[in-house]
Amino acid sequence: MRRLVAEGAVVLGATSTPRGTTHQTWGHTDRGPTRNPWRPDLSPGGSSAGSAAAVAAGVVALATGTDGAGSSRIPAAWCGIFGYKPTTALAVPTGPAVPAVPAPLARDPRDLRLWADVVLGDLPPVGEAGTAVWAPDLGYAAHELDPEVVAVAHAAAQRLADRVGLRWTNPTVELLDPAIAWTALRDPAATVADRRAAAAVRAHNDDRLAELFTRADLLLTPTTPAGPHGHAGPGPRMSVALTWVFNLSGHPALSIPAGTTADGVPVGLQVVARPGADRALLDLAAACPAAAPAPSRPARRYP
């Protein structure tokens, strides 16, 4: 934040972050729930809940957030805006095993590049992304997927490929579910056996991703396996199922507005690049149109 202010950014205030919950995608604070500007009865996602809601509602053009398991990408997807998780090594050169990295949210994707120029500095030069693979479940999350959300994201992936000239490739993507690894690496009470199991999952996924990115420049998935849940909580579905694997691996990832479901709920398309290829990822985002504002609604009170 200090770097942004030094470059002339005007700070309007602090936004809400969920607290005291195991699954921080539902936006509850000590002041009540944070509401999704598209559907006030639904969560905006989290944990950068207030940031996403403020951007989607038109309060600010860009908001800061953090991303430790999808905490910028998930609310970006559910609020119909852009959310960017940098390559971990660029944002946090040293830190815990799964650091939460600074991660901005914006309506205009070009503002993400401005943020990166100030906060991350000069990004490593890379070539343009030319090839992509579509992998909706990453090999482990098929049981989590909502078919309608997958269809909306897939259609957006096709439009993106047409817009920027991506060529599809079809290597198999078979990762392991990162749940035990992410949990153990963030838990100071984890046993030695837990940490060994976590290391094994992480090493397997790192190897598979390294191989994948020798055959494709980009990996595309839905940002979340389903749409936003209500304010009562996430239930059994893991909203982080498709995001937290890239916090473990350190890859840069971006959520792009993909459209809406039949009932008007936003969906996100997640685009992942090889580590350090943030410039190509942000250039790709800049080729996308700015996000549509959340629809205006008559003033009313919600419980």
pLDDT higher than 60, residue 300: no
How confident is the model over 30-52, as pLDDT tens digits? 788 899 999 999 999 988 999 99
How confident is the model over 167-223, as pLDDT tens digits? 999 999 999 999 999 999 989 999 999 999 999 999 999 999 999 999 999 999 999
Q: What is the pTM of this model?
A: 0.94
pLDDT higher than 90, residue 250: yes
Tokens of 95: 């830190």
pLDDT higher than 80, residue 16: no
Contact 205, 124 (CB under 8 A): no
The model's confidence at residue 21, banded by pLDDT at 50, 70 and 90, is low
**124-209-175-65 Cα dihedral, nearest 10 degrees:** 0
Return all residues near 270 (Cβ < 8 A) that are at least 6 apart: 73, 77, 153, 220, 221, 222, 223, 242, 243, 253, 254, 255, 256
Longest dimension (CA), the chain: 55
Say how far apart CA 299 and CA 292 lie, in whole Å.
Answer: 20
Contact 140, 177 (CB under 8 A): yes
Angle at 88 between CA 86 and CA 90, to 5 degrees: 75
DSSP state, residue 230: B
Say how far apart CA 52 and CA 43 lie, in whole Å.
Answer: 11
As a whole number, the mean pLDDT across the chain is: 92
Q: What percent of the chain has pLDDT over 90?
A: 76
Q: 191: buried, middle or exposed (CB in 10 Å: 19+, 13-18, 0-12)? A: exposed
How confident is the model over 97-114, as pLDDT tens digits? 788 999 999 999 999 999
Task: Give the mean pLDDT of 112-122.
Answer: 96
Say how far apart CA 70 and CA 210 lie, in whole Å.
Answer: 21
pLDDT score at 183: 92
In a 3-state reduction of DSSP, which class is residue 237? coil
The model's confidence at residue 4, banded by pLDDT at 50, 70 and 90, is confident
Return all residues near 215 (Cβ < 8 A) that are at least 6 apart: 131, 133, 169, 171
The model's confidence at residue 23, banded by pLDDT at 50, 70 and 90, is low
